[in-house]
């Protein structure tokens, strides 16, 4: 009798999932992919350790990645959780791990973004590996929105023959004087929030 109940229940789950190869059980209602700003905020949190900007990311921004060549399975996470995860690792602040939520999926979620994984990485010498990916196509627009102009940015990269906004971003992380770095972060913090 039990076996007969399992088949309709599983069929119902597939139907509710819209024939998707996985089902998100606790994803926020009205989830959507993260926008370029939200992905940028996560990169800044990872590179500069600025966790304040994580609250600018919508609780509905859901990052989903299908199984890759490695066959790791579906990886589903909240962009906001990724932001706090990377900020925790950069600053070694375990309190930030409390803001990392795990998305439960069927079949099981292979994402590393959870409170427990955050704490494991903090307490081990293992590196996370890959850093959050930044959308290079939107980076120039975001930098201009922050008030930077190409002519001004080129002055910081006088030794580089070819200018691009990513080099300017990297300069802010590794080459800028502390006051310039703080100015950069203030400009990031002045960008729009997408909390909804």
pTM of the model: 0.81
Residue with tokens 């989830």, as numbered in its chain:
31
In the predicted model, what is the mean pLDDT of residues 99-116?
87
Q: What confidence tier does 19 reach under pLDDT thresholds 50, 70, 90?
A: very low
In the predicted model, what is the mean pLDDT of residues 137-154?
86
User: Between residues 48 and 26, which one has the greater pLDDT?
Assistant: 48
Q: What confidence tier does 17 reach under pLDDT thresholds 50, 70, 90?
A: very low
pLDDT at 86: 94
Domain extent listing, the chain: 20-189
Would the pLDDT of 118 be above 90?
Answer: yes
User: Between residues 5 and 71, which one has the greater pLDDT?
Assistant: 71
Would the pLDDT of 104 be above 50?
Answer: yes
Please report how many Cα atoms fall inside a 13 Å half-sphere around the Cα of residue 171, on the Cβ side.
16
Please write the tens of the pLDDT for every residue from 183-195: 999 999 999 999 7
Give the separation between CA 62 and CA 33, rounded to whole angstroms: 5
Please write the tens of the pLDDT for every residue from 44-93: 999 999 999 999 999 999 988 876 655 567 788 999 999 999 999 999 99
Helices (H), the chain: 2-16, 36-48, 79-91, 115-122, 136-145, 150-156, 165-174, 178-189
């Amino acid at each position: 009798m039990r076996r007969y109940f399992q088949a309709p229940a599983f069929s119902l789950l597939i139907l509710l999932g819209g024939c998707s190869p996985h089902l998100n059980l606790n994803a926020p209602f009205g989830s959507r992919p993260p926008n370029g700003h939200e992905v940028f905020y996560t990169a800044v949190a990872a590179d500069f350790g600025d966790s304040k900007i994580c609250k600018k990311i919508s609780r509905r921004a859901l990052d989903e990645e299908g199984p890759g060549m490695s066959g790791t399975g579906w990886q589903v996470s909240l962009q906001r959780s990724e932001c706090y995860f990377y900020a925790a690792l950069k600053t070694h602040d375990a309190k930030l791990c409390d803001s990392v939520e795990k998305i439960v999926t069927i079949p099981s979620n292979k994402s590393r973004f959870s409170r427990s994984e955050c704490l494991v990485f903090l307490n081990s010498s293992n590196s996370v590996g890959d850093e959050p990916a930044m959308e290079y196509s939107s980076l120039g627009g975001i930098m201009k929105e922050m008030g930077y102009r190409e002519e001004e940015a080129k002055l910081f990269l006088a030794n580089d023959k070819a200018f691009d906004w990513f080099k300017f971003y990297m300069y802010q992380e590794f080459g800028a004087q502390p006051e310039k770095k703080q100015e950069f972060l203030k400009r990031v913090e002045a960008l729009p929030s997408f909390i909804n």
